[in-house]
Structure 1
Amino acid sequence: MSKKNNEFSIEEYTSIRAELIERIKIMNSQEASALVAIITSWAAGFTFANEILTKKFIMLDSFGTVVFQCLQTFIFLIPIFYFVPLAIKSGENLTQMVSLSAYIRVFYDYPFQKKYKKMNWETSNNLLSVVNTDKKEKSVILKMSNEEYTILAISSYLIYKFFEVISIKQLIQFVNEREITTNVYIIIILMYVIFNITSIGLIFLIHKSSSTKNTMMDKTKIYVNAYLNRAIELGVIDEKMLKNAIDELNPEKDMIIRKFL
C-alpha cells in the first residue's frame, strides 16, 4: 500500500485472507495434537496407578514401589512440558493474525468503506471483535479465549497432585515402618517440590504465551498504532477516518488519541 497506489487490491486481500486461514488451520492442528498427547499420558498414568493399587507389582520392595510411584505421578506432568512449545507457537500465530487483521482494518476497511460498502471483511472483523467488543480485563470471553492449553495443563497438574498425595502417604508409611531411610524420604520429597515448582511455572508460561487476552490486547495496540502512523504518512486515512478508527480499534481509551491527535 503506497500513497501513489492507494487502490483497492483484491489480490492482496486474498493473499492475506489465505495466510489467516492457514494459521487458523495450524492452531487447530496443534490443539488436536495436544488432545492426543494428554489422553495418551493420562491413559499411561492411570494404567500404572491401577497396577500399583491392585498389587500386581507385589515382587517390588519398598524402595522399588516408591520409585515406581514417582514415575507414575510424573507421567501426568509430561503433557505440561509438551504444551509449552505448542502454546508459544499458538501465541506467535495469534500475533501474526492480529497484525494481518489490523492491516486490513486500517488500510482497507476505512479508506474503502464508502466505495465498497458491500465488501464483507469477515476475516478482519471476526479476528478483532474479541478485542474491539470485549475490552478490558473484566471480559470473561476474552479471558477464556484460546485457553485450551492452560485448562488441559491445569487438569493434568491436579491429577498429578492427587496421586502425589497418595504416593507421599505410602512413603511416610514406609518410613514409619523403617523400610525406607529418612535420607531417601527427603530426596523424594525434594523431587516432588521441584516437580510442583516447575509445573506451576510452566503453566503460567503456557497461559502467558497462548492467552488471547495477553496476546491480542497487547499486540492490537502495537500494530494499530504502527499502521495508523503509516496510514497517516501515506495519506490513506483522513482525520475523520482516523477518529472512527481510534474509536473502534483502540482496546484502551486515549491510548492512540494522545499519539495521533
Structure 2
Amino acid sequence: MSNVINYSHKFSISDSEYVSLRNELIQRILLINSQATNAITIVLTMWAAGLGLFGIQVANLDNLNAMHNLIMCFGEVGVFFCALLILIPLALKSGENLKQQAAISAYISYFYYELIKENKIKSSIIYPWEYVSELTNEIYNNKKKYKSVLTMINSEYPILGLVSLIFTLVLTFANYCFIFESHKDVGITTLFILLMILIGIIEILIIIFLYKKTNILMNMTPILAAKSKSYVKIAKDMGWL
C-alpha cells in the first residue's frame, strides 16, 4: 500500500506517484543518452563509408574520367548528406524527451520538493539532496557561466552535423579540382558549383534545426518556467495554497 503524507488535509504526497515519476525521469535520461550514442555510431559509420569512397576515388584517379569523378563526388557528398538527414528524427526524439523531462521535473519540484522543504515534511523516499534549486541544478541558475555550459550539453547532434558539413565542403573542393582541372566547360562548372552551394545551404539549415531541437536551454528552460507557473495556478484553483 502506498505511503501517503497528508498536507493541510487537502493535498497529499504519494510516495508511489513520486517513485513512478522519478523512474520515468530516469528512463528518459537513459533514452537521451542511448539516442545520442546511436546517433554517433550511425554517423561515424556513414563517415567511414564516405571517406572510403573518396579513398577508392583517389587510388584510381588516373583511371577515372570526368564523369566517373562526378558520380563518385555525388556518392560521397550523398553519404554525408544522408548522415545529416538521419540525425533529424533522432534529434526530434531527443528534444521531445527533454521537454517531457522538464515537465516532470517541474511537477516533482513543485508538488513534492517544495512542499516537503517548506513544511519540513518527512518522507522515507525523498531526501534533501534531491531538492531542486538554483544551488543544485544548473538549469535553474541564471548565471552566464552556467548558460555557457548548458549550451554545450546534448550538443552531439549539431556537432556531428557540422563535421559532416566540413567533410562535404572538403570533398566538394577536392572533386572540383579532380573534375574541372582539365574540363573547362563553363556551363557545367557553374551548375556544379550552384548545386554544391545549394546542398551546403540545406546542410547548414539542418544543423540549425538540430541545434534548436536538442539545445537544453531552448527546450527545457521555457518548459520549466511555463509548467511551474501552470502548476502554481492549479494549486491555487484547487485551494491547496
Q: TM-score, normalised by structure 1?
A: 0.80
Q: Counterpart of 1:116 in structure 2: which amino acid? A: K
Q: How much has 1:130 moved relative to structure 2?
A: 2.5
Distance 1:2 1:115, change over 3 A: closer
Q: Is the 8 A contact 1:87 1:149 kept in 2?
A: yes
Distance 1:183 1:101, change over 3 A: same
**Helix, strand or coil: the match of 1:7?**
strand
Distance 1:124 1:103, change over 3 A: farther
Q: Does 1:46 align with 2:86?
A: no
- Whole-Å separation in 1 of the counterparts to 2:202 and 2:9: 55
Q: Is the 8 A contact 2:18 2:108 kept in 1?
A: yes
Alignment correspondent of 2:217: 213
Alignment correspondent of 2:3: none
Q: TM-score, normalised by structure 2?
A: 0.86
Q: How much has 1:44 moved relative to structure 2?
A: 0.6
Distance 1:39 1:13, change over 3 A: same
Q: Counterpart of 1:15 in structure 2: which amino acid? A: S
Unaligned runs of 5+ in 1: 238-261
Q: Deviations over 1:231-252 (max 9, x none)?
A: 2222334xxxxxxxxxxxxxxx
Alignment correspondent of 1:36: 41
Q: Counterpart of 2:161 in structure 1: which amino acid? A: A
Distance 1:222 1:73, change over 3 A: same
Alignment correspondent of 2:226: 222
Unaligned runs of 5+ in 2: 1-5
- Whole-Å separation in 1 of the counterparts to 2:190 and 2:152: 39
Q: Counterpart of 2:229 in structure 1: which amino acid? A: N
Aligned length: 232
**Helix, strand or coil: the match of 2:154?**
coil
Alignment correspondent of 1:6: 11
- Whole-Å separation in 2 of the counterparts to 1:215 and 1:39: 26
Alignment correspondent of 1:248: none
Q: Deviations over 1:3-50 (max 9, x none)?
A: 965112001101111211221222122112101111111111111111
- Whole-Å separation in 2 of the counterparts to 1:233 and 1:135: 33
- Whole-Å separation in 2 of the counterparts to 1:3 and 1:90: 39
